Structure 1
């Protein structure tokens, strides 16, 4: 379908040349589900052009913009900009449940049509709102390999999100982390095994969508094969077509066939599939009609909503003359909802539809898709509640579920000579050595408290640099029964590389100099340090988030109360080297 009039093509005006497209390999690895469909309320046809364009806008809520464009009134703002969805970020809304609920109710009450209200919440609400459940994270599901726990993970997130007024989350991450040096995907994914991803992701998605929350599989066509963080630069899918059909493509086709309602493309190129280039460069998926219209919607049969990744990321910039044209081109390429565009983009799309530069077919296709998932989630029902009450009993059950996931996910990478569990007739004395760029001691208070309650003596130290402590290591060895090196790092915490740097590297040096029977290496978040850097350490444990439930699982494991999982979500044999 041609969405631009031939006389005014934004994309073609900037296409410098085309590379030849390799012949696509024929495959039967994935096939679109022809029965994949949603019911739809037909009232979308009554919308004005401006109201239709509003449906493709996901407004990044801020009181500053409400003041600027609505004179401080949400009602006035929505009358000028009838958006179809809004992202309620904790950095704008805060961390008070009451504030979230108040804004959600005010938005829904003053919108002519029901809104999708969104957040990421990849590890649950408790990461930023203390009253709720801080979940162990996506890679914990890859470690646990339990469809039932994956469903419960989604259900926990959905019940708590709906209580705040959130009815759409931008998760799960459906990427396969094939490159250990990719520090954006990492523990946000289920791991490096496709079969594990397709075992748990559909159940996680069902847990969300069957409890009133739209799920979003991301980042099509798949992240985790190169080393680039899309926030900083355009990433690239490095697989051949045949490899892609066996890996990321298989995952995305599975969740499509199972009814995922939204998919987020990344700012990721796919050279094996694409032929169109701008100034000699392939366009990222968020700007590529080849990938969105051709591969995702047509070949794979996706009839849900395609939502762009955030438009303020560097990975989508500088392919067009300015940010406004970039955001418009993103819509034209096939993104049905734009994540955090400027309001000027809404005005521009309205004007270009009215002038016939962007066709009504393109707009109607996007609006139908948005309307479809709103219909399926019951947003047009008269009894739909902006915020769905959650009981204290449910909150308690959610936290118990989180503990079950953490207990099932904690992974024993090595335990040579049975260093664990710790055996001592007397009160064992432990030293925690925190190895991280941003760890503060209070982050691990749950682990410390849990072990102290079990009778352990615990001291703490931030870092144990070999340069500063080489002459003191014997004293450390003599003072403590065990030294627990806690390697704490996860995607975007801190931003950038998760490789050892500075004092972290020097602390790792010290860990390898101490007697092997005295050291326990605990990876928190990033699973690769224990596999790549610390094979000399006899006892190594991985958990995949710093939530309190994972910390409690560590304490249980050290004390011999639970049997640790020995199936790592990233296989040592696949982790050959950091590139």
Structure 2
């Protein structure tokens, strides 16, 4: 990529701007990246220019704008040979630029597994290459580039970008201002890499501890508290320059089925939904959220046909549009997920989603089939051109609001000025210091003393966070404790430690003063229980730290000191280390209820529980 914006702002860029009749079409408030705001344009004039743009499109181009698609490779025009092969097999194109040229897609979503993300400069180059391809189309329309950067358990872009506490950690901190600040930092950094939409925040209320797909991605189990945090994060992301996306409507928090692999049912009555699930989405809408993502879940109380919400007109139009009054963009969750594919074939799903009230179709498994099916439905009158144009107008208004028609490009200089700055990293650490929760501290085990427990063994899960976003936890914790004056040794034992590995951990603890064990979603039959029990049997102080869902303590009898960090990313683990070492007081308060494992109807720790030193 040429590093100077003047090189990128070519005639092609001018053509994209001219498509909406001049620079006045772009009026988005300047993001924190530092661009000067342009003079606002009346809404009626903006809509008129965008309608003229839509009128220039062919049916094929209009249909293409509805899709947000994956593509393999780190470069828009020159990906690695293996990524070219994957693109040709799955999509029928060689690379991102060809995807834009062939299908006129309105959006592209970045994934680590698709090899889109190596480092911030590369991401910026990829984004610029995609926008250059978009500007070269017959009707130039910039691409809305998006990703899932929720932080915490789901983060696609890793260091040197700033990693911030995830949703449940922020829920434990309880500060709407912290949630807003975290969103603003995340938005600024994504914007600097050419990403103008973030599929965050998660607006689900995690009232079911057995939920296999949401968990710590939720701010918690208290609907009012979740609503406050969702509203704060929406404002933060959009102040940072990117479109926020509240998900997963109408609420994925009370299920024990993962919609990636099955079709979950939500059995809430209409009254329960209004009390539990609706407040967070109402808060997102009140905060001006640019987009809302649907859930592949069945809610019989709202749609007796038992269609998944993504395909349900009573839910998306009747409730989201009409009852809640939402006027922004509606995007599906991935159409490759099992939950949306079990009832109808892949040819019907995109059409039914559009008829239900969806605007954007995310990541269909077969783009050629999906594009052809929507085009046929338009030609045969099942979808009307008037309805299609209304969807396109919403999408283009979002793009215009996020500055894409004014200037969709970025530079290496902007990346260096914004991404992973010392100020952002320091702010992330301060926010994390307010999130670690001390659940139990019998006999004053914590904080550890450098005189009594100088030699510390750190054992437990050793998986690195996805996309290189941190970890492994044992190494990060041992390093952090070493920097705080302890002699700390990491001994990874994994989520399913073998008897031999447990014996090794016990032997290693015999030569040390205390142990910190990082646990990860401990179940009743988990070998992690045997590991913790064996460590406790040595008589040495043992500190248990839940590095994902905080419910682990219910399965760990005999633990005297228990903490929750709500994620295994470096920023949260280092904050937990400061608490363990007594450098910070544990300030987090439990945002969910923990029930007893031996008596599931009884509460072990209530929402709001948290100890201090």
TM-score by structure 2 length? Answer: 0.79
- What is the total number of aligned residue pairs between the two structures? 526
Q: Is the 8 A contact 1:153 1:204 kept in 2?
A: yes
How much has 1:103 moved relative to structure 2? 2.1
- Partner Cα separation in structure 2 for residue 115 and residue 350 of structure 1: 20
Distance in 2, Cα, partners of 1:471 & 1:400: 39
Q: Does 2:139 correspond to 1:110? A: no
Larger relative contact order, structure 1 or 2 (CA cutoff 8 Å, min sep 6): 1
Contact preservation (8 Å) 1:319, 1:326: no
Partner residue of 2:149 out of 121, 130, 134: 121
Give 1:564 deviation, angstroms.
Answer: 0.4
Correspondence 1:570 to 2:570: no
Contact 2:203 2:281 in 1 (8 A): yes
User: 5+ unaligned residues in a row in structure 2: which ranges?
Assistant: 1-42, 73-82, 135-139, 603-613
1:354 Cα deviation after fit: 2.1
Alpha-carbon deviations, 1:524-555, whole Å to 9, x = none?
1111102x213532211100111211121122
User: 2: CA distance between counterparts of 1:225 and 1:181?
Assistant: 9
Q: Once superposed, what is the RMSD of the aligned Cα atoms?
A: 3.0
Which of 504, 510, 523 is 2:546 aligned to? 523
Counterpart position of 2:194: 165
Separation (CA, whole Å) in 2 of partners of 1:158 and 1:569: 25
Assess if the C-alpha contact under 8 Å between 1:162 and 1:213 holds in 2: yes
Matched with 1:90 is 112
In the other structure, the counterpart of 1:334 is 357
Q: Residue 248 and residue 168 in structure 1: after superposition, are their counterparts in 2 closer, same or farther (change >3 A)?
A: same
Q: Give yes or no for the alignment of 1:184 onto 2:202.
A: no
Moved more, 169-178 or 544-553: 544-553
The C-alpha deviation readout for 1:132-185, integer Å capped at 9, x for no partner, is 122221111101111221111111211111122110111111101111111211
**Residue in 1 that maps onto 2:478:** 448
**How far off its partner does 1:314 sit?**
0.7
Q: Unaligned stretches of 5+ in structure 1?
A: 1-36, 490-497
User: How many Å separate the matches in 1 of 2:448 and 2:508?
Assistant: 18
**For residue 365 of structure 1, what is the aligned residue in structure 2?**
390
Distance 1:89 1:180 in 2: 28
* Mapped contact 2:148–2:155 kept (Cα < 8 A): no
- 2:381 is aligned with 1:356: yes
Please name the residue that 1:260 is paired with.
289
What is the TM-score of this pair, normalised by structure 1? 0.83
**Matching residue within 96, 101, 108 for 1:79:** 101
In the aligned structure 2, how far is the partner of 1:375 from the partner of 1:425? Answer: 60
Q: Are 2:371 and 1:346 aligned?
A: yes
Cα offset for 1:119? Answer: 0.8
Structure 1 residue 450 displacement after superposition: 1.9
Which residue of 416, 432, 435 maps to 1:409? 435
Structure 1 residue 519: deviation in Å? Answer: 1.3
Instruction: Answer yes or no: is the 8 Å Cα contact 1:56–1:337 preserved in 2.
Output: yes
Distance (Å, rounded) in 1 between the aligned partners of 2:376 and 2:536: 64
* 1:436 and 1:487 in contact (8 A); partners too: no
Report the counterpart of residue 342 of structure 2 in structure 1.
318
Which residue does 2:513 correspond to in 1? 481
How far apart, CA to CA, are the structure 1 residues paired with 2:428 and 2:530?
Answer: 34
Q: Is the 8 A contact 1:212 1:377 kept in 2?
A: yes
Say which SS state the counterpart of residue 486 (structure 1) adopts: strand
Q: Is the 8 A contact 1:126 1:135 kept in 2?
A: no
CA drift of 1:567 comes to 1.3
* Corresponding residue of 2:576: 554
483 and 54 in structure 1: CA distance in 2 versus 1, 3 angstrom threshold: same
